[in-house]
A and B are shown apart, each in its own frame.
Chain A
């Protein structure tokens, strides 16, 4: 079903018109915000339907993980709980958002396949559905971060804006990554496996549990890891620690280049994604 009473579709007529149509897709996806928000809310609701605590299970499991890992690793890393728990809590919560978006981005089109094959809904609304779903998840975890920071006396209202700015920058980057992997995964079904494996490896080479300051040799593994910079710009401001400006520069460059490539890929394949499914 179409938004407007008039619809005109024709064969491909060059990349310019592909791009125009892709922009049109973006605008009409944004107009359908109520649809993808409702689908996202429904995704969460159906996952926890029938359970007493519902989505607050996310909060509880995250809190349990932070508590357990915190008690053990603080000793391994010779840090006091007051030093370690805030670092760990911010790391785990932001990392969960980042890694889930990357992994679920692969399924963004595939999991909405039945709707895509029956309707003319704009394609980017299915990416928006996935982003929204993860932001809802995130909102159930971020309360832990707030609680931990308040408890350890690290919470400052003035730290929030810079953290939010970092979060926006991270989300913009995850957006293009999800769009690109969503398309490629629909076409090549091996890609989700590759992405999941990469994310699993990243758990260990990204400073979630430990501080990047402890790394002296082979710094390139750290610097070359985009997830490291994503954590830096969200976590450090919240802890009141300075962020190395080059993390911002890298993320902004990545956002520009990434969106250019992902959007071009989207423009080129938008009509064909339905055939991939």
Chain B
């Protein structure tokens, strides 16, 4: 690779049109045209819009382990999805250099009626692997999940713990330069939890950039070296993780002050 792994986000804005129940009906849409007037506060055919991210800019380079922190609905998951390429920016730009692995939803694409091996294959294809790459990984997923002969059975026969093991083993079998994670995903019984943790740490060490969204402050302090705080879709500049406590205290003090 000629260029180093990096993420460059410039003036990024993401807006979600909300297509609510009253918006989706074609009848309403046509009725509005037929009547010609504009009822309610909505203008024309436009749907209410939620600004999920507004004017966010940052740059990440190899070695950055960034925590996205902020309250629910602040835009953390949206940020991860934009980096993963799910949402296209409404304004601004996102450039990523490096192979991205997004561990956003472990159960992505798992088919309950298919057996373990078929699911490993399908997930591999979704992740963009070739047939031979998937075959190489299958043995290692087999060993790590510890599911043995169960991999030949359909997923609907699995317990939720077994399902979690398979999902975790498949999701973490990737080689990635950039790792996107929504919450810490170690799962399973206590034995598995330890090996899952070790595997995830190995994955994080191999990756060049990690972006982790989490509410667990002790966790992000252990894993990350930088953080970015999001609130109502606006982001703070990226700061070193050592400032996290101080920042959150200030934030809290501000809120108390404004409430008083």
Enumerate chain A residues within 8 angstroms of B88, measured Cβ to Cβ. 9-11, 271
Q: Which of B20-28, B188-196, B211-219 contacts A (4 or more CB under 8 A)?
A: B20-28
B122 touches A6 (CB 8 A): no
A2 touches B128 (CB 8 A): yes
Q: How far is the CA of A2 from the CA of B101 in the complex (A)?
A: 9
State whether the Cβ of B100 lies closer than 8 Å to any Cβ in chain A.
yes
A12 within 8 A of B: yes
CA of A176 to CA of B26 in the docked complex: distance in angstroms? 21
B11 CB → nearest A CB, Å: 9
Interface: B247 (CB within 8 A): no
- Given B26, B91, B95, which contacts A188 in the complex, CB threshold below 8 Å? B26
* B17 close to A2 (CB less than 8 A): no
Q: Which of A142-190 contact B (CB under 8 A)?
A: 187-190
Whether, in the assembled complex, B253 has its beta carbon less than 8 Å from a beta carbon of chain A, the answer is no
Q: Does A132 contact B (CB under 8 A)?
A: no
Say yes or no: is B201 at the interface (Cβ < 8 Å to chain A).
no
A214 within 8 A of B: no
Given contacts A6-B95, A118-B104, A276-B19, contact A49 B113 (CB under 8 A): yes
What A residues does B126 contact at CB under 8 A?
1, 35, 115, 119, 121
Residues of A within 8 A of B98 (CB): 5
Stretch in A38-46, A90-98, A204-212, A240-248 touching the partner: A38-46
Checking A42, A119, A271 against B108 with a beta-carbon cut-off of 8 angstroms, the contacting residue is A119
B92 touches A188 (CB 8 A): no
* A274 contacts the other chain (CB 8 A): yes
Could you tell me which residues of chain A, from 97 to 153, have a CB within 8 Å of some CB in chain B? 114-121
CB of A7, distance to nearest CB on chain B (Å): 5
CB distance from B54 to the nearest CB of A (A): 13
Q: Write out the residue numbers on chain B whose beta carbons fall within 8 Å of the beta carbon of A117.
A: 81, 86
Given the contacts A3-B128, A12-B90, A42-B122, A118 and B102 also touching, CB distance less than 8 Å: yes
Contacts of A120 in B (CB 8 A): 84-86
Asked whether B173 is an interface residue with its Cβ less than 8 Å from the other chain, the reply is no
Set of chain A residues within 8 Å of B154, measured between Cβ atoms: 49
Interface bin, chain A: 35 or more
Q: Which of B19, B25, B102, B154 counts the most A-chain CB atoms under 10 A from its CB?
A: B19
Count residues of chain B with CB under 8 A from any CB of chain A. 50
A7–B96 contact, CB under 8 A?
Answer: yes
A115 touches B108 (CB 8 A): yes
| Binary A-proximity of B72-108 (CB < 8 A = 1, otherwise 0) | 0000000001101111111111111111111011001
Chain A residue at minimal CB-CB distance from B101 = A1
Within 8 A of B (CB), among A1-38: 1-3, 5-12, 32, 34-35, 38
Determine whether the beta carbon of A35 is less than 8 Å from that of B114: no
Task: Answer yes or no: B240 CB below 8 A from chain A CBs.
Answer: no
Is there contact, CB below 8 Å, between B113 and A46? yes
On whether the beta carbons of A34 and B125 are closer than 8 Å, the reply is: yes
Q: Do A189 and B84 contact each other (CB < 8 Å), given the known contacts A9-B89, A10-B94?
A: no
Q: Does B121 contact A (CB under 8 A)?
A: yes
The interface residues of chain A lying within 8 Å CB-to-CB of B109 are 114-115, 118
Known contacts A46-B113, A120-B85, A188-B25, then 11 further A-B pairs from the complex at CB < 8 Å, ordered by chain A residue = A1-B85, A6-B97, A8-B95, A9-B82, A9-B88, A35-B125, A39-B122, A39-B125, A42-B122, A117-B81, A194-B26
Top-9 shortest CB links A-B: A120-B85, A10-B93, A46-B113, A271-B88, A35-B125, A188-B26, A11-B91, A190-B26, A8-B95
29 A-B pairs in the complex with CB atoms less than 8 angstroms apart? A1-B101, A1-B127, A2-B96, A2-B99, A8-B96, A9-B85, A10-B94, A11-B13, A11-B90, A11-B91, A34-B125, A35-B125, A39-B122, A42-B114, A42-B118, A114-B105, A114-B108, A115-B108, A118-B105, A119-B85, A119-B108, A120-B84, A188-B25, A188-B26, A189-B25, A190-B26, A194-B26, A274-B86, A275-B17
